[in-house]
Amino acid sequence: MDLEEQKQFITNSLKAAIGAVEECNAEYRVIGSVLIIAYLGKVYRPIHDVDILIDSKCRECVFEQLKKEGFVLERKTAFPMFFAEKAEHVPLNLHFGDFTKDSVRFHICGRICEWRITADSILAKKYTFNGVEFTGLPMSAMIRWIKASPFLKPSRRFDREVLSAEMAKTNVASYKVRENIYIFGIKIPFLYHFSLLLRNICRAIQLRYTPKKP
């Protein structure tokens, strides 16, 4: 798939997803690389999906709307995330959480574990891509996410390159405590950030020793 074709597939997915959440009056935030694409106004590298945080109260309504549009939905992880796929669309990753005044809360493995993101990390910002208007995270939040992402992952290197000027003038801390993991309602300090660091190290080792394709 060339980048021009993917531009249309991304547009198709955004139209369907935003139409569904707006029809259900759901609070939501688009996250991930699509925000950078919208910010720059161009598809600078292939992306594999469109990630969206959605208020869990509207989950069934959003499912119904997407099914009407011909999407096939599937849950593949213990995390409250569902995949929605349709031909000529980039797959949707739908992350359902409880939007509260002070945070967004994601329940993992039932109610045993909970991941909370503070409300100031998901402030709403309007974007437009190829005529589709949507609400996403501010670019400062995306930059913080990129800094905390696996440092040898090729896609992250592309993201850093295209946002180098913005990153140079945006002062954000990669590991400032805005996300926490709770187990049985008890906050475990820095567990989220430790797990993120461990994932980055494992990813770096994997990339270092995975044979390159000819």
pLDDT in tens, 36-88: 999 989 898 888 899 999 999 999 999 999 999 999 999 876 667 899 999 99
**Which residues, including other chains, have CB under 8 Å from residue 207's CB and lie 6 or more apart?**
150, 152, 153
User: What is the rounded average pLDDT for all residues in the chain?
Assistant: 82
Which tokens in the block code for residue 70? 């011909």
State the pLDDT confidence band at 211, using cuts at 50, 70 and 90.
Answer: low
pLDDT in tens, 98-145: 998 888 888 777 777 787 788 777 888 999 999 999 999 888 888 877
pLDDT at 58: 96
State the pLDDT confidence band at 24, using cuts at 50, 70 and 90.
Answer: very high
Better pLDDT: 35 or 1 = 35
What pTM value is reported for the model? Answer: 0.80
Percent of the chain exceeding pLDDT 90 equals 40
pLDDT at 162: 83
pLDDT in tens, 170-186: 776 544 546 777 787 77
Cα–Cα distance between 14 and 133 in angstroms, integer?
9
With a cut of 80, say whether residue 209 has pLDDT above it. no
pLDDT at 177: 47
Cα–Cα distance between 143 and 68 in angstroms, integer?
35
Cα–Cα distance between 159 and 187 in angstroms, integer?
32
CATH class of 3-209: alpha beta
Alpha helices in the chain (DSSP H): 3-23, 33-40, 59-68, 139-148, 154-162, 164-169, 191-209
